[in-house]
Amino acid sequence: MLLDELAKQCQSCAQKSPVLVLGSGASIPHGIRGMGDLAGWLRDNVQADDGPEVDAWTLVRTALAAGDHLEAALEERNLPDTLVVKIVRSTWDFIAQDDYSLLKSAIKSETVFPLGSLLSGLFRSTNRNIHVVTTNYDRVAEYAADSCGYVHNTGFLPGYIRRADGAENLIFKQGPNIARTVTVWKVHGSLDWFGDGQGGVLSLPMTSELPDGLVPLIVTPGVSKYQRTHDEPFRSAIQGADRVLSAANAFICIGYGFRDRHIHPKLMTRCRVHNAPILVAARTLTPEAKDFLNNNAGRNYLALEDHNDGTMVYNRDNPNGVVVAGGKYWELPALNELIGF
């Protein structure tokens, strides 16, 4: 495959006002540790009490030791609610450390956000709203929008103590015009979402420590993930994500592993049935991603992953992959240049 041909296919997808889908691979370059590191952290730090907790956690640890990824190790087991609370808290502690470090770096302009360059390029159109759907708890998408001067909206009203009531139809203005807005649908919650113990939901400025009396509103892999998503704010986030995914003209997926049942069924329908173009970029495509490409991506797909000699490229004409030498085009900075952003 020639580089010009690769560039044209990337540009064609970007020109269709794509929905962005971000997985953990989009955050790892910013020092947000991924699911493998989280698995090790949980294994070493979650302390199960005697009884059902110990029995359940032993099965999870055994699965991890056998080589299962975190999602697989947790999703096959119905964990006690008390153990789920510990896993959620430990997950928050782990990722919040990295996120807060990134925030301090961003405040001092020490961090460059390639995602911000992608957003800026996509805003070179009449489009005033870019939708981002993500399974990540961190705030990389929000920081990237802020770094470029765009409004970000995660479903909460503006303020220090942010509530969700009435935020869904919020429109931001910039002078007489609608402000360029990045709407981030965080289907698994966010580090800055909390429950107050009385059923209230709020979003607070990011800190490195969990505020007293509040419970993190994030859903970790496992059976409980699909139970909790019937509650707010997850229900609204998932419904909003469903709407934008179901109507998308195209998709750009960055570091997304296609392991989440909240997202990839919509991608499957839109790509396979409606032939929406999809661009997938990741250091290593997961088996689930390759299965999607082989069976459900339709005709207009393009996937990029790392190769020793450059980038391995998959598309309709090269379903088994072809190497494009030289650049690491699966990395967002190089991909932006290829698109012309």
Mean pLDDT of 212-239: 79
Which own/partner pairs from 109-113 qualify as long-range (CB within 8 Å, at least 24 positions apart)? 111/30, 111/143, 111/147, 113/30, 113/140, 113/143, 113/144, 113/147, 113/148
Nearest partner of 147 among 114, 123, 176, judged by Cα: 114
Instruction: Assess if residue 235 is contained within a domain.
Output: yes
Distance, CA of 281 to CA of 115 (rounded, Å): 13
Instruction: Assess if residue 206 is contained within a domain.
Output: yes
Helix (H, G, I), strand (E, B) or coil at 36: helix
DSSP structural state of residue 274: T
Residues 6+ apart with CB under 8 A from 12: 277
Instruction: Assess if residue 41 is contained within a domain.
Output: no
pLDDT number for residue 200: 87
Distance, CA of 127 to CA of 129 (rounded, Å): 6
Instruction: Assess if residue 218 is contained within a domain.
Output: yes
Instruction: Assess if residue 89 is contained within a domain.
Output: no
DSSP structural state of residue 16: T
Mean pLDDT of 27-40: 93
Is 157 a residue whose pLDDT tops 70? yes
pLDDT > 90: what percent of the chain?
Answer: 67
Distance, CA of 203 to CA of 104 (rounded, Å): 19
pLDDT number for residue 206: 81
Contact 255, 22 (CB under 8 A): yes
The overall pTM is greater than 0.85: yes
pLDDT number for residue 226: 52
Instruction: Assess if residue 281 is contained within a domain.
Output: yes
CATH of the domain at 291: 3.40.50.1220
Q: Show the DSSP H helices in the chain as ranges.
A: 3-14, 35-45, 52-65, 70-75, 81-107, 114-122, 140-147, 223-228, 234-247, 264-268, 287-295, 332-339
Is 5 a residue whose pLDDT tops 70? yes
Tens of pLDDT along 169-215?
677 777 777 889 999 999 999 999 999 878 889 999 888 888 888 99
pLDDT number for residue 119: 98
Distance, CA of 237 to CA of 339 (rounded, Å): 30
Mean pLDDT of 101-127: 94
pLDDT number for residue 188: 92
Mean pLDDT of 59-70: 88
pLDDT number for residue 229: 64
Mean pLDDT of 288-313: 95
Please tell me which residue, 225 or 308, carries the higher pLDDT value: 308
Q: Which of 69-78, 238-247, 260-269 has the lowest mean pLDDT?
A: 69-78
Q: What does DSSP say about strands 201-203 and 215-218: parallel, antiparallel, or unpaired?
A: unpaired
Is 302 a residue whose pLDDT tops 90? yes
pLDDT number for residue 142: 97
User: Looking at the DSSP assignment, which residues form a beta bridge with residue 113?
Assistant: none
Distance, CA of 187 to CA of 190 (rounded, Å): 9
Instruction: Assess if residue 270 is contained within a domain.
Output: yes
CB atoms within 10 A of CB 234: 22
Tens of pLDDT along 250-299?
999 999 999 887 788 889 999 998 999 999 999 999 999 999 999 999 99
Mean pLDDT of 99-125: 94
pLDDT number for residue 15: 95
Confidence of residue 42 (pLDDT cuts 50, 70, 90): very high
99 sits in the region (left: phi over 0; alpha: psi -120 to 50; else beta) called: alpha
Mean residue pLDDT across the chain: 90
Confidence of residue 230 (pLDDT cuts 50, 70, 90): low
Instruction: Assess if residue 77 is contained within a domain.
Output: no
Helix (H, G, I), strand (E, B) or coil at 140: helix
Q: How far is CA 213 from CA 34, 202, 210, 216, in A?
A: 28, 13, 9, 10
Count of domains for the chain: 1
User: Looking at the DSSP assignment, which residues form a beta bridge with residue 312?
Assistant: 305, 323
Contact 219, 225 (CB under 8 A): yes
Host domain of residue 177: 3-34+112-339
Distance, CA of 192 to CA of 162 (rounded, Å): 10
